[in-house]
A and B are shown apart, each in its own frame.
Chain A
């Protein structure tokens, strides 16, 4: 009795102390009230307008239609909630998952799913193989476009410099007129500090982007499989003197979890193997550094995985170090499929 009518419940690991049935009933009551509220209100408003229009109360216009929209959404959310609760009340996690899987198996939906039916929970590689390479079959896209970082830093630089300049002029005019605004003068101090940081950040990004030119990685085969080899070609443009350029094949684990009301994501490197290395080389304008080799995925390595809260991602990471131009790090995602046993027909 006490467990059914407890006002609150405790979460103990994956278990909860309350009654699931009471929870489902409460959920259904909530959605039922929402549905009735929306349906009754919507019916009352529409029928009153049809039978006995009262323009002084309900004038047809933006407000009226907004009210209709809100009430209709209440009815829709409440109705869907009741159906959802009725379907899944008392159902096990396995049954819910099986229902979702059955829905995802429909032809129209399966094509739009991020993973294929042949390799469940392995990401599709269409976006990686739609760009042909010059020397090898596929050109890999970068994980994040460096242009966005430069653009963002430029925007911050322009905004902070503009604000600081305008306020500086105002403060100076006040001081020269003999009526200094001390609050504004004191406010300028942190603003100048922020502006100096923005200038340094922007010019650092600009120097990095212009010195380290675009990076191009091409591979001869995709998707990759554990124990398989393929050719790799790397081209690094720019105008700098490199102390080293290293290409790594990296496997990362990503886990998303709830911590109180926050959602946090943790990423951990599971494995890292060196693919190519170049030492002490000079890159000139119009003469990019080119190197090629063999990309080997370790045997018995885990394939790429994508589920609701967990992921395993593979990528090629290129790290360039220069004494005068700093460090450059760029990532190129790849997909590793599981090895499939070759069947021999009897």
Chain B
């Protein structure tokens, strides 16, 4: 198990628009922050993954919902496949003061498969993702990748 010395390295709080990149009526983009407890560690099946997410620079009333998920997706030549292992959707009514912005912590036990893999035409990536739904149909998301399993990269072997 590899543990980084700077295990509490904060992820850069950049956010990505899933739709329109020009928010109307706001001078600053909302800031999404998502941290994995040990981002550089190679996780194993059965390990606990702990994450924290926080939202800033947006009015609480503008937020419709926040979704946090731990998922895997494929990259490479084939069309993208996606599999969700952990999913949670929160709306303002789930919080005492209807404010979804404060830090929210979630944990999950990682599954036995599929493991992270970097092949020639197929790659499997794991990440934790937070998705913010704002009013007027705008969405933002931010993801933090991590590794599951010790799989070696495939060698260059053409047959």
Contact = CB atoms under 8 A, between A and B. Distances in A.
Given A95-B89, A253-B121, A309 B81 contact: yes
Contacts of B78: 254-257, 266, 309-310
Contacts of B150: 300
A101 B157 contact: no
B74 A309 contact: yes
Chain A interface extent, by class: 35 or more
Interface string A284-313: 000000000000001011110101111110
A213 B1 CA distance: 50
Q: Could you tell me the dominant secondary structure of chain B's interface residues? A: loop
Given A92-B139, A120-B113, A341-B45, 20 more contacts: A94-B71, A94-B82, A94-B84, A94-B87, A120-B112, A120-B114, A121-B113, A250-B159, A256-B78, A268-B119, A270-B154, A270-B157, A272-B157, A298-B152, A305-B122, A305-B124, A310-B74, A312-B122, A338-B45, A341-B44
Contacts of B25: none
Interface in A240-288: 250-251, 253-258, 266, 268-272
Nearest to B88: A98
A271 B78 CA distance: 19
B84 A340 contact: no
Contacts of B152: 298, 300-301
Given A94-B69, A118-B112, A122-B113, A268 B121 contact: yes
A266 to B, nearest CB: 6
A149 interface: no
Contact of B74 (A90, A98, A301, A307): A307
B149 A338 contact: yes
A120 B83 contact: yes
Chain B interface extent, by class: 35 or more
Nearest to B76: A255
B131 to A, nearest CB: 5
Interface string B124-158: 10000101000001010100000001111011011
A52 interface: no
Interface string A1-39: 001000000000010000011000000000000000000
Q: Could you tell me the dominant secondary structure of chain A's interface residues? A: mixed
A97 interface: yes
Nearest to B1: A341
A271 B149 CA distance: 18
The listed residue with most A CB atoms (<10 A of its CB), out of B81, B84, B114, is B114
A250 B150 CA distance: 20
18 contacts: A14-B80, A90-B137, A92-B131, A92-B139, A95-B87, A97-B82, A120-B114, A250-B159, A255-B76, A266-B78, A270-B119, A302-B115, A302-B117, A307-B114, A311-B122, A340-B45, A340-B112, A343-B46
Contacts of B59: none
Contacts of B81: 307-310
A274 B12 CA distance: 47
CB-based closest 5 A-B pairs: A255-B78, A98-B87, A307-B81, A270-B154, A309-B79
Contacts of B82: 93-94, 97
B119 A312 contact: yes
A298 to B, nearest CB: 8
Given A121-B113, A309-B79, A340-B112, A302 B151 contact: yes
B94 interface: no
A64 interface: no
B67 A122 contact: no
B67 A94 contact: yes
B79 A257 contact: yes
